[in-house]
Homo-oligomer: A and B are copies of this chain.
Amino acid sequence: MAISTPTISVADVCLATKAAAGPLAALGSDVKDRALLAIADALVARTPEILAANALDLEAGRANEIGDALLDRLALDPQRIAGIADGARAIAALPDPVGETIDGHRLPNGVDVRRVRVPFGVVAVVYEARPNVTIDAAALALKSGNAIVLRGSSSAIHSNRVLAEIAGEAATAAGVPAGAISLVAGGGREELAELATQDGVVDLIFPRGGEGLKNALKAVATVPVIYAASGNCHLYVDASADLEMAAAILLNGKTQRPGVCNALETLLVHADAAPEFLPRAAQLLHGAGVELRGDERARALAGPGVPFGAATEEDWATEYLALTIAVKVVDSREEAISHIGQYGSGHSEAIVTRSTESARAFQLNVDAACVYVNVSTRFTDGGEFGMGAEIGNSTQKLHARGPIGVRELTTFKYLIEGTGQVRG
Protein backbone atom coordinates (compact mmCIF):
# COMPACT_ATOMS: atom_id res chain seq x y z
CA MET A 1 0.00 0.00 0.00
CA ALA A 2 1.28 3.44 -0.90
CA ILE A 3 0.94 6.20 1.68
CA SER A 4 2.20 9.70 1.03
CA THR A 5 4.74 10.94 3.57
CA PRO A 6 7.06 13.92 3.69
CA THR A 7 9.38 11.89 1.42
CA ILE A 8 6.77 10.28 -0.88
CA SER A 9 4.83 12.85 -2.88
CA VAL A 10 1.15 12.72 -3.73
CA ALA A 11 2.15 12.33 -7.40
CA ASP A 12 4.26 9.28 -6.53
CA VAL A 13 1.41 7.75 -4.54
CA CYS A 14 -0.88 8.26 -7.54
CA LEU A 15 1.63 6.68 -9.92
CA ALA A 16 2.00 3.66 -7.62
CA THR A 17 -1.78 3.37 -7.53
CA LYS A 18 -2.00 3.58 -11.31
CA ALA A 19 0.53 0.76 -11.62
CA ALA A 20 -1.93 -1.47 -9.75
CA ALA A 21 -4.95 -0.37 -11.80
CA GLY A 22 -4.28 -2.45 -14.91
CA PRO A 23 -3.93 -5.84 -13.17
CA LEU A 24 -6.80 -4.95 -10.82
CA ALA A 25 -9.13 -4.17 -13.75
CA ALA A 26 -8.53 -7.66 -15.16
CA LEU A 27 -9.24 -9.50 -11.86
CA GLY A 28 -12.18 -11.85 -11.66
CA SER A 29 -15.10 -11.27 -9.29
CA ASP A 30 -14.01 -14.23 -7.18
CA VAL A 31 -10.70 -12.62 -6.18
CA LYS A 32 -12.29 -9.23 -5.54
CA ASP A 33 -15.09 -10.69 -3.42
CA ARG A 34 -12.65 -12.84 -1.43
CA ALA A 35 -10.61 -9.72 -0.78
CA LEU A 36 -13.68 -7.81 0.43
CA LEU A 37 -14.59 -10.60 2.86
CA ALA A 38 -10.96 -10.75 4.03
CA ILE A 39 -11.05 -7.00 4.67
CA ALA A 40 -14.23 -7.42 6.73
CA ASP A 41 -12.69 -10.22 8.78
CA ALA A 42 -9.45 -8.29 9.31
CA LEU A 43 -11.33 -5.21 10.54
CA VAL A 44 -13.08 -7.26 13.19
CA ALA A 45 -9.94 -9.20 14.14
CA ARG A 46 -7.84 -6.05 14.44
CA THR A 47 -10.43 -3.97 16.28
CA PRO A 48 -8.07 -3.18 19.21
CA GLU A 49 -5.50 -1.66 16.81
CA ILE A 50 -8.19 0.46 15.16
CA LEU A 51 -9.50 1.66 18.51
CA ALA A 52 -6.00 2.58 19.67
CA ALA A 53 -5.45 4.69 16.54
CA ASN A 54 -8.90 6.22 16.85
CA ALA A 55 -8.14 7.16 20.46
CA LEU A 56 -5.21 9.28 19.22
CA ASP A 57 -7.50 11.14 16.81
CA LEU A 58 -10.13 11.65 19.50
CA GLU A 59 -7.50 12.94 21.92
CA ALA A 60 -6.21 15.41 19.33
CA GLY A 61 -9.80 16.37 18.50
CA ARG A 62 -10.54 17.13 22.14
CA ALA A 63 -7.31 19.10 22.46
CA ASN A 64 -8.27 21.09 19.36
CA GLU A 65 -11.81 21.55 20.68
CA ILE A 66 -13.45 20.35 17.48
CA GLY A 67 -16.80 19.99 19.24
CA ASP A 68 -19.02 17.09 20.28
CA ALA A 69 -20.68 16.62 16.88
CA LEU A 70 -17.37 16.18 15.06
CA LEU A 71 -16.01 14.01 17.88
CA ASP A 72 -19.03 11.76 17.52
CA ARG A 73 -18.52 11.46 13.75
CA LEU A 74 -14.86 10.65 14.40
CA ALA A 75 -15.42 8.06 17.13
CA LEU A 76 -15.23 4.33 16.46
CA ASP A 77 -16.26 1.53 18.80
CA PRO A 78 -16.47 -2.25 18.30
CA GLN A 79 -20.07 -1.97 17.12
CA ARG A 80 -19.28 0.71 14.53
CA ILE A 81 -16.29 -1.31 13.31
CA ALA A 82 -18.51 -4.38 12.97
CA GLY A 83 -20.93 -2.21 10.97
CA ILE A 84 -18.14 -1.09 8.64
CA ALA A 85 -17.13 -4.73 8.16
CA ASP A 86 -20.73 -5.66 7.38
CA GLY A 87 -20.76 -2.91 4.77
CA ALA A 88 -17.76 -4.49 3.03
CA ARG A 89 -19.52 -7.88 3.12
CA ALA A 90 -22.65 -6.34 1.58
CA ILE A 91 -20.54 -4.87 -1.23
CA ALA A 92 -18.99 -8.31 -1.82
CA ALA A 93 -22.51 -9.68 -2.27
CA LEU A 94 -23.39 -7.19 -5.04
CA PRO A 95 -23.19 -8.26 -8.69
CA ASP A 96 -19.89 -7.32 -10.34
CA PRO A 97 -20.49 -4.44 -12.77
CA VAL A 98 -17.25 -5.14 -14.66
CA GLY A 99 -17.60 -7.12 -17.87
CA GLU A 100 -21.30 -6.45 -18.32
CA THR A 101 -22.23 -6.14 -21.99
CA ILE A 102 -24.27 -2.95 -22.09
CA ASP A 103 -25.35 -3.40 -25.70
CA GLY A 104 -24.02 -4.68 -28.97
CA HIS A 105 -24.89 -5.50 -32.54
CA ARG A 106 -23.49 -6.85 -35.79
CA LEU A 107 -22.65 -4.39 -38.56
CA PRO A 108 -23.75 -5.12 -42.13
CA ASN A 109 -20.17 -6.17 -42.97
CA GLY A 110 -20.18 -8.88 -40.29
CA VAL A 111 -18.18 -6.97 -37.67
CA ASP A 112 -19.47 -7.39 -34.11
CA VAL A 113 -19.49 -4.24 -31.96
CA ARG A 114 -20.32 -4.38 -28.25
CA ARG A 115 -19.99 -2.03 -25.32
CA VAL A 116 -18.54 -3.69 -22.26
CA ARG A 117 -18.37 -2.16 -18.79
CA VAL A 118 -14.81 -1.60 -17.50
CA PRO A 119 -13.33 0.18 -14.47
CA PHE A 120 -12.21 3.79 -14.77
CA GLY A 121 -8.72 2.89 -13.58
CA VAL A 122 -7.79 5.14 -10.64
CA VAL A 123 -10.46 6.97 -8.66
CA ALA A 124 -9.81 9.31 -5.77
CA VAL A 125 -12.18 9.99 -2.91
CA VAL A 126 -11.69 13.11 -0.82
CA TYR A 127 -13.63 13.10 2.42
CA GLU A 128 -14.04 14.69 5.78
CA ALA A 129 -14.22 13.49 9.37
CA ARG A 130 -15.90 10.05 9.24
CA PRO A 131 -13.23 7.31 9.13
CA ASN A 132 -15.77 4.72 7.94
CA VAL A 133 -15.55 6.31 4.46
CA THR A 134 -12.02 4.91 4.22
CA ILE A 135 -13.41 1.37 4.08
CA ASP A 136 -16.69 2.16 2.30
CA ALA A 137 -14.90 3.91 -0.55
CA ALA A 138 -12.08 1.35 -0.77
CA ALA A 139 -14.62 -1.48 -0.89
CA LEU A 140 -16.73 0.18 -3.63
CA ALA A 141 -13.58 0.87 -5.66
CA LEU A 142 -12.32 -2.70 -5.24
CA LYS A 143 -15.67 -4.18 -6.26
CA SER A 144 -15.76 -2.03 -9.38
CA GLY A 145 -12.16 -2.91 -10.27
CA ASN A 146 -10.73 0.54 -9.61
CA ALA A 147 -7.56 1.37 -7.75
CA ILE A 148 -8.24 4.12 -5.24
CA VAL A 149 -6.45 7.06 -3.71
CA LEU A 150 -8.03 7.98 -0.38
CA ARG A 151 -7.61 11.44 1.04
CA GLY A 152 -9.30 11.86 4.39
CA SER A 153 -9.10 14.77 6.78
CA SER A 154 -6.14 15.34 9.07
CA SER A 155 -8.43 15.05 12.10
CA ALA A 156 -8.91 11.34 11.33
CA ILE A 157 -5.43 10.59 10.09
CA HIS A 158 -4.51 7.88 12.62
CA SER A 159 -7.81 6.08 12.15
CA ASN A 160 -7.73 6.38 8.36
CA ARG A 161 -4.16 5.16 8.17
CA VAL A 162 -4.74 2.00 10.18
CA LEU A 163 -8.00 1.28 8.34
CA ALA A 164 -6.33 1.73 4.95
CA GLU A 165 -3.40 -0.42 6.04
CA ILE A 166 -5.67 -3.21 7.23
CA ALA A 167 -7.68 -3.06 3.99
CA GLY A 168 -4.56 -2.94 1.84
CA GLU A 169 -2.90 -5.87 3.62
CA ALA A 170 -6.00 -8.05 3.58
CA ALA A 171 -6.66 -7.27 -0.09
CA THR A 172 -3.07 -7.98 -1.12
CA ALA A 173 -3.08 -11.27 0.77
CA ALA A 174 -6.25 -12.22 -1.13
CA GLY A 175 -4.59 -11.60 -4.51
CA VAL A 176 -5.30 -7.92 -5.22
CA PRO A 177 -2.27 -6.08 -6.64
CA ALA A 178 -0.32 -4.18 -3.99
CA GLY A 179 -0.92 -0.44 -4.35
CA ALA A 180 -4.59 -0.79 -5.28
CA ILE A 181 -5.59 1.02 -2.06
CA SER A 182 -3.55 4.13 -1.31
CA LEU A 183 -3.75 6.95 1.17
CA VAL A 184 -2.70 10.56 0.88
CA ALA A 185 -1.83 11.25 4.48
CA GLY A 186 -1.32 15.00 4.33
CA GLY A 187 -4.57 16.80 4.92
CA GLY A 188 -3.56 20.20 3.58
CA ARG A 189 -4.83 22.18 0.60
CA GLU A 190 -1.51 21.70 -1.19
CA GLU A 191 -1.91 17.93 -1.19
CA LEU A 192 -5.48 18.38 -2.41
CA ALA A 193 -4.33 20.57 -5.30
CA GLU A 194 -1.59 18.09 -6.22
CA LEU A 195 -4.12 15.24 -6.20
CA ALA A 196 -6.63 17.20 -8.26
CA THR A 197 -4.14 17.86 -11.06
CA GLN A 198 -2.92 14.30 -11.70
CA ASP A 199 -4.30 14.25 -15.25
CA GLY A 200 -3.66 10.98 -17.01
CA VAL A 201 -3.00 9.23 -13.69
CA VAL A 202 -6.14 9.81 -11.63
CA ASP A 203 -9.26 9.32 -13.77
CA LEU A 204 -11.92 10.78 -11.52
CA ILE A 205 -12.34 12.47 -8.13
CA PHE A 206 -15.34 12.19 -5.83
CA PRO A 207 -15.50 14.74 -3.03
CA ARG A 208 -17.54 13.76 0.02
CA GLY A 209 -17.86 16.80 2.17
CA GLY A 210 -19.20 20.30 2.50
CA GLU A 211 -19.23 23.31 0.23
CA GLY A 212 -15.77 24.40 1.37
CA LEU A 213 -14.22 21.19 0.10
CA LYS A 214 -16.13 21.41 -3.18
CA ASN A 215 -15.10 25.00 -3.78
CA ALA A 216 -11.48 24.20 -2.98
CA LEU A 217 -11.58 21.45 -5.60
CA LYS A 218 -13.40 23.56 -8.20
CA ALA A 219 -10.71 26.17 -8.01
CA VAL A 220 -7.87 23.80 -8.83
CA ALA A 221 -9.07 20.52 -10.34
CA THR A 222 -8.05 19.54 -13.86
CA VAL A 223 -8.96 15.89 -13.25
CA PRO A 224 -12.73 15.32 -13.79
CA VAL A 225 -14.69 15.71 -10.54
CA ILE A 226 -18.20 14.42 -9.85
CA TYR A 227 -19.75 16.81 -7.38
CA ALA A 228 -22.55 15.77 -5.07
CA ALA A 229 -24.43 19.04 -4.90
CA SER A 230 -26.93 20.02 -2.26
CA GLY A 231 -30.56 18.98 -2.30
CA ASN A 232 -33.13 21.76 -2.23
CA CYS A 233 -36.00 19.28 -2.55
CA HIS A 234 -39.68 20.14 -3.04
CA LEU A 235 -42.98 18.42 -2.40
CA TYR A 236 -45.81 19.63 -4.63
CA VAL A 237 -49.32 18.79 -3.39
CA ASP A 238 -51.49 18.83 -6.50
CA ALA A 239 -55.14 19.92 -6.63
CA SER A 240 -56.26 16.30 -6.80
CA ALA A 241 -53.87 14.95 -4.17
CA ASP A 242 -54.86 12.35 -1.60
CA LEU A 243 -54.28 14.63 1.38
CA GLU A 244 -53.68 11.78 3.83
CA MET A 245 -50.90 10.56 1.57
CA ALA A 246 -49.57 14.09 1.10
CA ALA A 247 -49.39 14.61 4.86
CA ALA A 248 -47.52 11.34 5.40
CA ILE A 249 -45.02 12.06 2.62
CA LEU A 250 -44.56 15.64 3.86
CA LEU A 251 -43.85 14.55 7.41
CA ASN A 252 -41.53 11.77 6.30
CA GLY A 253 -39.62 14.00 3.91
CA LYS A 254 -39.17 16.83 6.38
CA THR A 255 -38.72 15.12 9.74
CA GLN A 256 -37.49 11.55 9.36
CA ARG A 257 -33.89 12.74 8.96
CA PRO A 258 -33.78 16.47 8.28
CA GLY A 259 -29.97 16.76 7.94
CA VAL A 260 -29.64 14.80 4.70
CA CYS A 261 -29.71 15.90 1.07
CA ASN A 262 -32.93 14.07 0.13
CA ALA A 263 -34.96 15.69 2.94
CA LEU A 264 -37.71 18.16 1.96
CA GLU A 265 -37.02 21.88 2.14
CA THR A 266 -40.04 23.47 0.44
CA LEU A 267 -43.73 22.58 0.30
CA LEU A 268 -45.78 23.80 -2.69
CA VAL A 269 -49.55 23.45 -2.41
CA HIS A 270 -52.10 23.95 -5.20
CA ALA A 271 -54.59 26.69 -4.33
CA ASP A 272 -57.49 24.21 -4.63
CA ALA A 273 -56.00 21.89 -2.03
CA ALA A 274 -54.52 24.55 0.23
CA PRO A 275 -57.63 25.52 2.28
CA GLU A 276 -58.08 21.94 3.45
CA PHE A 277 -54.46 20.81 3.49
CA LEU A 278 -52.53 23.72 4.95
CA PRO A 279 -54.13 24.00 8.41
CA ARG A 280 -53.56 20.30 8.95
CA ALA A 281 -50.04 20.28 7.47
CA ALA A 282 -49.08 23.26 9.60
CA GLN A 283 -50.26 21.56 12.77
CA LEU A 284 -48.52 18.31 11.90
CA LEU A 285 -45.24 20.05 11.11
CA HIS A 286 -45.43 22.30 14.15
CA GLY A 287 -46.20 19.26 16.29
CA ALA A 288 -43.04 17.62 14.95
CA GLY A 289 -40.98 20.66 15.91
CA VAL A 290 -40.72 22.13 12.41
CA GLU A 291 -40.44 25.90 11.97
CA LEU A 292 -42.69 27.18 9.16
CA ARG A 293 -41.96 30.05 6.77
CA GLY A 294 -44.54 30.81 4.13
CA ASP A 295 -45.84 33.22 1.56
CA GLU A 296 -48.81 35.39 2.47
CA ARG A 297 -51.49 33.04 1.18
CA ALA A 298 -50.03 30.01 2.92
CA ARG A 299 -49.84 31.82 6.24
CA ALA A 300 -53.40 33.09 5.93
CA LEU A 301 -54.79 29.68 4.98
CA ALA A 302 -52.90 27.82 7.71
CA GLY A 303 -54.89 29.75 10.28
CA PRO A 304 -53.85 31.23 13.58
CA GLY A 305 -53.15 27.95 15.40
CA VAL A 306 -49.41 27.69 14.73
CA PRO A 307 -46.48 30.12 14.47
CA PHE A 308 -45.84 30.71 10.74
CA GLY A 309 -43.20 33.25 9.75
CA ALA A 310 -42.96 35.11 6.46
CA ALA A 311 -40.74 33.53 3.84
CA THR A 312 -38.22 35.73 2.05
CA GLU A 313 -36.72 35.19 -1.39
CA GLU A 314 -33.77 33.54 0.37
CA ASP A 315 -35.99 30.87 1.90
CA TRP A 316 -36.95 29.49 -1.52
CA ALA A 317 -33.29 28.97 -2.34
CA THR A 318 -32.19 27.56 1.02
CA GLU A 319 -31.33 23.94 1.82
CA TYR A 320 -32.06 24.16 5.56
CA LEU A 321 -30.88 20.65 6.48
CA ALA A 322 -32.83 21.34 9.68
CA LEU A 323 -36.37 21.34 11.05
CA THR A 324 -37.46 24.34 8.99
CA ILE A 325 -39.66 24.38 5.89
CA ALA A 326 -40.68 26.98 3.32
CA VAL A 327 -44.32 26.87 2.18
CA LYS A 328 -45.94 28.43 -0.89
CA VAL A 329 -49.38 28.29 -2.47
CA VAL A 330 -49.36 27.98 -6.27
CA ASP A 331 -52.22 28.47 -8.72
CA SER A 332 -51.27 25.69 -11.09
CA ARG A 333 -49.12 22.66 -11.67
CA GLU A 334 -47.16 24.77 -14.15
CA GLU A 335 -46.36 27.32 -11.47
CA ALA A 336 -45.09 24.55 -9.20
CA ILE A 337 -42.88 23.12 -11.94
CA SER A 338 -41.60 26.58 -12.77
CA HIS A 339 -40.79 27.32 -9.10
CA ILE A 340 -38.87 24.04 -8.88
CA GLY A 341 -37.03 24.88 -12.10
CA GLN A 342 -36.00 28.21 -10.63
CA TYR A 343 -35.01 27.18 -7.11
CA GLY A 344 -34.45 23.41 -7.14
CA SER A 345 -30.96 21.95 -7.14
CA GLY A 346 -31.87 19.03 -9.39
CA HIS A 347 -31.75 16.43 -6.63
CA SER A 348 -35.15 14.94 -5.67
CA GLU A 349 -38.60 16.41 -6.40
CA ALA A 350 -41.99 14.92 -5.56
CA ILE A 351 -45.62 15.37 -6.53
CA VAL A 352 -48.61 13.92 -4.69
CA THR A 353 -51.54 13.64 -7.08
CA ARG A 354 -54.44 11.46 -8.17
CA SER A 355 -54.23 12.88 -11.72
CA THR A 356 -52.30 10.89 -14.31
CA GLU A 357 -52.04 14.07 -16.35
CA SER A 358 -50.36 15.94 -13.49
CA ALA A 359 -48.08 13.00 -12.72
CA ARG A 360 -46.90 12.79 -16.31
CA ALA A 361 -46.44 16.56 -16.69
CA PHE A 362 -44.37 16.62 -13.49
CA GLN A 363 -42.18 13.72 -14.63
CA LEU A 364 -41.60 15.21 -18.06
CA ASN A 365 -40.98 18.78 -17.05
CA VAL A 366 -39.10 18.66 -13.76
CA ASP A 367 -35.37 18.52 -14.45
CA ALA A 368 -33.90 16.58 -11.51
CA ALA A 369 -31.97 13.39 -10.82
CA CYS A 370 -35.01 11.79 -9.15
CA VAL A 371 -38.64 12.71 -9.85
CA TYR A 372 -41.17 11.10 -7.51
CA VAL A 373 -44.90 10.49 -7.93
CA ASN A 374 -46.68 9.65 -4.66
CA VAL A 375 -43.46 8.55 -2.92
CA SER A 376 -41.26 10.27 -0.31
CA THR A 377 -38.07 11.93 -1.60
CA ARG A 378 -36.20 10.18 1.20
CA PHE A 379 -35.76 7.13 -1.05
CA THR A 380 -33.01 8.77 -3.14
CA ASP A 381 -30.26 6.50 -1.90
CA GLY A 382 -28.18 3.75 -3.45
CA GLY A 383 -29.21 1.27 -0.78
CA GLU A 384 -32.92 2.07 -1.12
CA PHE A 385 -32.70 1.86 -4.93
CA GLY A 386 -31.20 -1.62 -4.65
CA MET A 387 -27.78 -0.50 -5.91
CA GLY A 388 -25.98 -1.41 -2.70
CA ALA A 389 -23.79 1.15 -0.99
CA GLU A 390 -23.23 4.53 -2.60
CA ILE A 391 -20.31 6.91 -2.71
CA GLY A 392 -22.62 9.91 -2.87
CA ASN A 393 -25.47 11.41 -4.85
CA SER A 394 -24.80 13.30 -8.07
CA THR A 395 -26.86 16.30 -9.10
CA GLN A 396 -24.77 16.89 -12.21
CA LYS A 397 -25.82 15.39 -15.51
CA LEU A 398 -22.56 14.02 -16.87
CA HIS A 399 -21.99 10.28 -16.47
CA ALA A 400 -23.63 9.77 -13.07
CA ARG A 401 -26.92 11.29 -11.93
CA GLY A 402 -28.53 10.29 -8.63
CA PRO A 403 -26.95 7.64 -6.41
CA ILE A 404 -23.34 6.75 -7.29
CA GLY A 405 -22.90 3.03 -6.73
CA VAL A 406 -20.53 0.44 -8.16
CA ARG A 407 -22.02 0.73 -11.66
CA GLU A 408 -21.39 4.48 -11.66
CA LEU A 409 -17.74 3.76 -10.78
CA THR A 410 -17.29 2.18 -14.20
CA THR A 411 -16.91 3.39 -17.77
CA PHE A 412 -17.07 1.16 -20.88
CA LYS A 413 -15.08 0.30 -23.93
CA TYR A 414 -16.12 -0.87 -27.35
CA LEU A 415 -14.88 -4.34 -28.24
CA ILE A 416 -14.92 -4.95 -31.98
CA GLU A 417 -14.32 -8.34 -33.58
CA GLY A 418 -14.16 -9.39 -37.19
CA THR A 419 -12.43 -11.45 -39.84
CA GLY A 420 -10.17 -8.91 -41.47
CA GLN A 421 -12.69 -6.23 -42.41
CA VAL A 422 -11.26 -2.95 -43.74
CA ARG A 423 -13.02 0.29 -44.52
CA GLY A 424 -13.86 0.97 -48.15
Contact = CB atoms under 8 A, between A and B. Distances in A.
A184 interface: no
Interface stretch (A124-132, A149-157, A391-399): A391-399
Contacts of A414: 369-371, 380, 385, 401-402
Residue of A118, A253, A421 with most chain B CB atoms under a 10 A cut-off: A421
B379 A121 contact: no
Given A248-B422, A367-B22, A105 B401 contact: no
A355 to B, nearest CB: 13
Interface string A358-388: 0100011101111111111011100011100
B411 A397 contact: yes
Contact of A417 (B25, B248, B367, B375): B375
Contact of A418 (B22, B253, B375): B375
A83 to B, nearest CB: 18
A245 interface: yes
Nearest to A23: B365
Oligomer copy total: 2
A412 B397 CA distance: 8
Contacts of A372: 416-418
A422 B256 contact: yes
A413 interface: yes
Interface of A: 22, 25-26, 105, 107, 111, 113, 118, 120-121, 203-204, 218, 222, 224, 242, 244-245, 248-249, 251-253, 256, 341, 352, 359, 363-365, 367-376, 378-380, 384-386, 396-399, 401-402, 411-423
